[in-house]
């Protein structure tokens, strides 16, 4: 019986991956989250809680879904010290993991990235312990989610934005990534390459662009704009001019590409995941206000942060 590990399993990407693995495999899925941002499994898992033992919650009649609420840093630090930690501490007979998906992170939107950069930089401590642990325990395959924030910001200025290619991240010739979030992700990509080359770990990096989907936290633009349109906000406030665009990609597509990429890539290389189409915030407001059946006046908040600029070539 295979067992997969999902860190940050109660966050947006994590809970979608937990459900995907549960629905498409017969494997066990252990997921960890400290609920600092994530939501408790009972609110989204759609399976009954059948047992609670030694700090593990088991969901579903076959108990294939196993949840531990803890700080993932402590969890991996203990596992790195003692490979039998899960058995002795939680009573789970796990020797090693098949696929490990590392979604535990401090993310947040533009307000957090620009407003509290040293809070976001705590990602470095989560990732440092994670990368150390994978080189001790050597799970079969590892997924590290990077981000478009790893790209040099000088390629994404208002007047000089270019369509970003995988090769625009070149460790031999680097620009500056987007704040501490981008530095963390770029560091993670660098560590992934070392994990593969120095320790023989099968590891894949993904850079999802702007993920969206049902059940996403309201701090993200798509659900926030959808909600405000449903409430018929008028005038409709937008940060900056609203002409800045993002490559929005649905979470189901992110998961499809992630799983495919893990089959094809094992040397730490990163693959971009986007829809390939640039959508401005003004267009997003138009889509949702049309759904809501009204035409609001747009009010630009020019003193708010807008992040990087983008163009896409198709």
Of the candidates 2, 24, 35, 48, which one interacts with ligand NAD according to CB under 6 A? 35
Please report, as residue ranges, which positions from 254 to 283 form the binding site for ligand NAD (by CB under 6 A). none
Task: Name the strand (E) or helix (H) holding 236.
Answer: strand 236-239
Closest approach of Cβ 15 to ligand NAD, in Å? 8
Q: Which long-range contacts (CB under 8 A, 24 or more apart) does 218-221 make?
A: 219/108, 219/109, 219/111, 219/112, 220/12, 220/109, 221/109, 221/246, 221/281, 221/284
Give the integer Cα–Cα distance in Å for 97 and 20: 17
∠ Cα 223 226 227 (to 5°) = 85
C-beta separation of 312 from 278 below 8 A? yes
Closest approach of Cβ 31 to ligand NAD, in Å? 10
Question: Taking CB under 6 A as the rule, does residue 296 contact ligand NAD?
Answer: no
C-beta separation of 167 from 271 below 8 A? no
Question: Taking CB under 6 A as the rule, does residue 253 contact ligand NAD?
Answer: no
Distance of CA 164 to the CA centre of its chain: 19
Closest approach of Cβ 8 to ligand NAD, in Å? 3
Of the candidates 31, 92, 114, 145, which one interacts with ligand NAD according to CB under 6 A? 145
C-beta separation of 150 from 186 below 8 A? yes
Question: Taking CB under 6 A as the rule, does residue 21 contact ligand NAD?
Answer: no
Closest approach of Cβ 219 to ligand NAD, in Å? 9
Question: Taking CB under 6 A as the rule, does residue 307 contact ligand NAD?
Answer: no
Binding string to ligand NAD for residues 194 to 223, with x set by CB under 6 A, is what?
Answer: --------------x-xx-----x------
Question: Taking CB under 6 A as the rule, does residue 34 contact ligand NAD?
Answer: yes
The residues binding ligand NAD (CB under 6 A) are 8, 10-14, 32-38, 71-73, 103-107, 126, 145, 147, 208, 210-211, 217
């Amino acid at each position: 019986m295979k067992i997969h590990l999902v860190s940050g399993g109660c966050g947006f990407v994590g809970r979608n991956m937990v459900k995907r693995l549960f629905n498409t495999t017969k494997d066990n899925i252990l997921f960890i989250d400290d609920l600092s941002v994530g939501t408790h499994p009972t609110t989204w898992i759609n399976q009954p809680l059948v047992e609670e033992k030694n700090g593990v919650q088991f969901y579903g009649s076959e108990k294939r879904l196993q949840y531990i609420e803890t700080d993932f840093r402590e969890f991996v630090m203990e596992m790195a010290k003692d490979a039998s930690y899960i058995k002795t501490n939680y009573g789970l007979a796990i020797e090693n993991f098949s696929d490990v998906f590392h979604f535990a992170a401090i993310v947040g939107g533009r307000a957090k990235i620009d407003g509290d950069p040293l809070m976001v930089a705590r990602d470095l401590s989560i990732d440092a312990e994670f990368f150390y642990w994978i080189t001790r325990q050597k799970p079969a395959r590892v997924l590290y989610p990077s981000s478009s924030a790893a790209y040099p910001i000088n390629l994404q200025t208002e007047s000089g934005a270019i369509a970003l290619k995988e090769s625009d991240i070149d460790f031999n010739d680097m620009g500056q990534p987007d704040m501490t979030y981008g530095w963390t992700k770029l560091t993670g990509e660098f560590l992934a390459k070392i994990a593969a080359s120095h320790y023989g770990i099968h590891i894949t990096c993904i850079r999802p662009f702007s993920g969206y989907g049902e059940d996403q936290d309201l701090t993200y633009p798509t659900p926030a704009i959808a909600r405000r349109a449903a409430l018929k906000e008028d005038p409709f406030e937008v940060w900056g001019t609203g002409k800045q665009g993002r490559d929005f990609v649905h979470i189901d597509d992110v998961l499809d590409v992630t799983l495919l990429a893990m089959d094809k890539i094992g040397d730490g290389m990163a693959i971009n995941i986007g829809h390939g189409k640039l959508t401005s915030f003004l267009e997003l407001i138009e889509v949702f206000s049309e759904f809501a059946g009204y035409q609001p006046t747009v009010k630009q908040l020019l003193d708010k942060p807008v992040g990087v600029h983008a163009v896409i070539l198709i």
